[in-house]
A = this chain, B = another copy of it.
Amino acid sequence: MTAELNASERETWRAFFVMRRQLELTLERRLQADAGISSADYEVLISLFEAEDKRLRAGQIGDIIGWEKSRVSHQISRMESRGLVTRQECGDDARGVWVVITSDGRRAVLEALRDRTTAIREVFFDVLTEDEVATLNAISIRVLDRINPPICAEQNVLTG
């Protein structure tokens, strides 16, 4: 029961670490160049876009993306000033707000989604076999369950 990593584990960790950094960097650059938004903007827009009524409470956004509430609030303010989202009063609970995607926001997220999908295909799935995709999926779920042990027998929700 040693805490050390063996040679192939160290090699794999390094390769994985560098790969995901380069991957993020590449996707971020393309997002900025193609749709003119940052990764943070994209994360907010895509969660709104995928929501039932194209709107979410500020707190929900934080839960989905994994941000603290003040980061959400500042981010929403910046996006609001750029016309990507608006805030609306919340009838159910006067303490809360709805964050709603605007038509400009929808336009931006659609463009981003298209470009991003192309990029992900080009630099990622195009060089993976079907088996490798399956393995990576299994690995990811197992590591996630390790980090956040699932409550009862539920699966992890993969809410990001």
Q: Which residues of B contact A51 (CB under 8 A)?
A: none
- B133 close to A8 (CB less than 8 A): yes
**17 intermolecular pairs with C-beta atoms under 8 Å apart:** A3-B114, A8-B137, A11-B137, A12-B137, A13-B120, A13-B124, A15-B136, A15-B137, A15-B158, A19-B143, A20-B20, A21-B160, A25-B66, A123-B146, A124-B146, A132-B135, A132-B139
* Bound form: Cα–Cα A105–B127 in Å: 40
In this complex, what residue of B is CB-closest to A145?
B127
Q: Mark A21-32, 1 if CB is under 8 A from B, else 0.
A: 111011000000
Residues of A within 8 A of B (CB): 3-5, 8-9, 11-23, 25-26, 66, 114, 117-118, 120-128, 130, 132-148, 158-160
How many copies of this chain? 2
Name which of A20, A26, A160 has the most chain B CB atoms within 10 A of its CB: A20
Contact of A118 among B3, B11, B145 (CB under 8 A): B3
* A62→B117 CA distance, assembly (Å): 30
Contact in complex: B148, A22 (CB < 8 Å): yes
A14 touches B160 (CB 8 A): yes
Asked if residues A120 and B14 are in contact (CB atoms below 8 Å), the reply is no
